[in-house]
Chain A
Amino acid sequence: NAGVMQNPRHLVRRRGQEARLRCSPMKGHSHVYWYRQLPEEGLKFMVYLQKENIIDESGMPKERFSAEFPKEGPSILRIQQVVRGDSAAYFCASSDSMGETQYFGPGTRLLVL
């Protein structure tokens, strides 16, 4: 029973490029959450999605960041025109319903050169 899967595990981008981070929730889970952990800091909520819907994006930066969770396939966190300050670990979590325990994936470590 595979857990939450994220890929790539490590991603290197130059300033101005786009980063696409993918998350496949645990089997049977339809709720996905994205969190960002900057170096030496705690995790910060970014966005909460259900299939084809963004439910809460209060933690997402207003520009350059977007997220989707299509009917088929993984959830995608997209960062356009990356800057050095975007370098962080991005964790995805999933749950089988709202309010239930969130299980985390291994994270994607983004490095912007």
Chain B
Amino acid sequence: GEDVEQSLFLSVREGDSSVINCTYTDSSSTYLYWYKQEPGAGLQLLTYIFSNMDMKQDQRLTVLLNKKDKHLSLRIADTQTGDSAIYFCAERGSGTYKYIFGTGTRLKVLA
């Protein structure tokens, strides 16, 4: 079945760039998402990318998609302490409402 994998932890220094990686198995995935979860809160959509795109930039966020390798990454430029959170990758196919989430990557930003 479909699977989405992420590394569990990432630690970076304030001001550095963070890169969070995700791999997925469903080749029919049409939409790929990045969500952010702060402590005690629900998930907040950060950005998304369609499977026919290679890259999407949105202010400090850059999403790269390698469809051949089924690899998705989220780069956060100039990482701030407020970026400390859990980041989830998710995918869904066209015509389906079912989202498959990764395990989440806990980003810790050191001052």
Q: Do A and B bind each other?
A: no
Q: Which residues of B contact A (CB under 8 A)?
A: none
